[in-house]
Every structure is written in C-alpha cells, then in structure tokens.
C-alpha cells in the first residue's frame, strides 16, 4: 500500500519536470539559497513547497508529488521511512537547529539578556508550540533546565517558529525564543542569548528521499548537494549547526 509510489504518474525525473522539494517552513529561506546554487550548477529546475512538517507529512502520505522532504524534525522522516513512504538509506540529518532568546527592545550582552528571563520585567515571552514544533519542544526543555517551568511571564505559543518570530516582529511580544537562522536574517537589534546545546536535546532536522523519486537521479544529486560540505557551510552560516554529528 505504497500510495506515493503506485499512484505517481510522473515517476522518476523526466526532462523538463522540476524536482519537487518539500521544505519545513523554518528552513525555507535557507533552502531557497541552496536551491539557487544547485540550479546554477545543474541547470535543473527545483520547486520548493513549504509548510509545517506536520502538514507535509500528512500530504506525503496522501500522495503529494514531492521528491525530497526536508523536515524540521527527525520524527516525521523516521515515520515515513517506517511506514514505507521514503527511502531508508537517504534519511540523514542535514542541519541542527539552534535556539536564540531574543529581546529586540533592550540592548545588552548575552548574559544580561538571559537575566531578563528571571527579572520579572517580561510579562510575555513568545515561543513555538512545544506540542507541534521541534523548536518549541526544545524551548520547553530549555525553560525546564533554566528552572523556569512555571515562569512569571505568560508564554505565547506560535504555531511554529516562523509565527513566533512574527509575534515579536509585529510588536505583540517583547521577547521570545526563536531560531538562530531567523535571528541571522533579522536586523539583530536589541539583545540576544544564543541558547547552548546543553539546555535541550538537539533539534535534528532530517531529509529523506521519497519513494516516488527513488529512481530519480536528480533527487539523489540534490540530497548529495545538500549534504556536501560546501552547502553545509552555507547552512551553518545561516544559523544552524552542522548535520551528521
């Protein structure tokens, strides 16, 4: 009952058909950069579809025409492999997410920034929903580790890390835990504390080759390109830790 495989009418990489990459929203700005350089190197066309990892997972199971899946977590690629929708051998971590605690309205160094969490000055702090988003899950671990399991401030949950950033950007919340990649992209005003990996389990983001593209050479080339050291350097520069530890 391999839906993706049987129902696909456009199996493999035929000339002119773009490679379809499903990308978790949080990685999509970086993915665009990667794709641009990949396209330049291969003359192939790659289209990016971004949504939350949860949506993409559900869609892939319903036969979505994606060739490669760049998830924001490890759970969903693993599940896809287990359920027979993805090629097991291709399932690799392409990046690790990093958390940043950001207070745009206050200037100061990392430690003053971190102290703000305890100061009581903050009434609200934004974070990604721990039940839904990997960054949220990591944030919760971090808060626990910081002894802030029942903080004085109200936690505002974003549907994902993108929305969490939007909360702060729009001026709705004064501070929040966002992805380092986002902080890189922003104007980096105010103060920020880069949360160390000791506070939470790694936010491993895995990429898999989906069944419909198991014979697609271009897809394999894209995955290779993703894991290549040149790309990995780019990913690191965008605010992630490197893939395979």
Partner 1 sequence: MDWFPGAGPLLLTAKLAAITVIGLLIVGTPLAWWLALGVQQNKSRWHGYVRVVVEALVALPLVLPPTVLGFYLLMAMGANGTLGQWWIGLTGEPLAFSFTGLVIASMIYSLPFVVQPLSNAFQSMGRDWMEAAWSLGANRWQTWLRVVVPHCRAGFLTATVLGFAHTLGEFGVVLMVGGNIPDETRVVSIAVYDLVESMSYGAAHKLSLILLGFSFLILILVYGFNRRWSRL
Give the separation between CA 210 and CA 3, rounded to whole angstroms.
Answer: 11
Shortest CA distance to 165 belongs to which of 113, 191, 126? 126
Read off the tokens for 18: 């773009």
Residues 6+ apart with CB under 8 A from 4: 60, 61, 63, 64, 85, 210, 211, 212
Please state the closest distance from residue 78 (CB atom) to partner 1, in A. Answer: 12
Which one, 203 or 224, has the nearer CB to partner 1? 203
Which one, 55 or 197, has the nearer CB to partner 1? 55
Please state the closest distance from residue 245 (CB atom) to partner 1, in A. Answer: 26
Which one, 6 or 109, has the nearer CB to partner 1? 6
Which one, 29 or 202, has the nearer CB to partner 1? 29
Tell me if 182 sits within 8 A of 128, measured CB to CB.
no
Please state the closest distance from residue 57 (CB atom) to partner 1, in A. Answer: 7
Site residues for partner 1 per CB under 8 A = 1, 3-4, 6-7, 9, 20, 25, 28-29, 32, 47-52, 54-55, 57-59, 61-66, 123-124, 126, 129, 131-132, 154-160, 162-163, 165-167, 169-174, 182, 185-186
Give the separation between CA 158 and CA 2, rounded to whole angstroms.
Answer: 34
Shortest CA distance to 138 belongs to which of 71, 197, 52? 197
Give the separation between CA 15 and CA 137, rounded to whole angstroms.
Answer: 42
Please state the closest distance from residue 158 (CB atom) to partner 1, in A. Answer: 7
Which one, 3 or 197, has the nearer CB to partner 1? 3
Which one, 61 or 197, has the nearer CB to partner 1? 61
Please state the closest distance from residue 68 (CB atom) to partner 1, in A. Answer: 14
Give the separation between CA 190 and CA 105, rounded to whole angstroms.
Answer: 5
What 3-state class would DSSP assign to 100? strand
Please state the closest distance from residue 70 (CB atom) to partner 1, in A. Answer: 13
Cβ burial of 196 (10 Å; 0-12, 13-18, 19+) is exposed
């Amino acid at each position: 009952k391999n839906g993706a495989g049987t129902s696909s009418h456009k199996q493999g990489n035929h000339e002119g058909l773009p490679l379809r990459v499903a990308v978790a929203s949080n990685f999509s700005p970086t993915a665009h950069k990667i794709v641009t350089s990949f396209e330049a190197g291969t003359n192939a066309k790659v289209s990016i579809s971004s949504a939350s990892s949860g949506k993409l997972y559900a869609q892939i199971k319903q036969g979505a025409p994606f060739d490669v899946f760049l998830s924001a977590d490890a759970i969903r690629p693993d599940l896809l492999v287990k359920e027979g929708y993805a090629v097991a051998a291709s399932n690799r971590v392409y990046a690790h997410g990093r958390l940043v605690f950001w207070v745009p309205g206050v200037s100061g160094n990392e430690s003053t920034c971190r102290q703000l969490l305890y100061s009581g000055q903050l009434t609200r702090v934004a974070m990604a929903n721990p039940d839904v988003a990997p960054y949220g899950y990591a944030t919760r671990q971090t808060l626990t580790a910081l002894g802030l399991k029942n903080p004085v401030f109200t936690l505002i949950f974003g549907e994902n890390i993108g929305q969490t950033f939007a909360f702060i950007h729009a001026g709705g919340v004064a501070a929040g835990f966002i992805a380092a990649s986002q902080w890189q992209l922003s104007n980096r005003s105010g103060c920020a504390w880069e949360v160390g990996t000791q506070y939470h389990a790694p936010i491993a983001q895995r990429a898999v080759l989906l069944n419909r593209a198991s014979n697609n050479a271009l897809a394999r080339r894209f995955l290779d390109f993703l894991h290549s050291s040149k790309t990995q350097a780019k990913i690191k520069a965008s605010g992630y830790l490197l893939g395979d530890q």
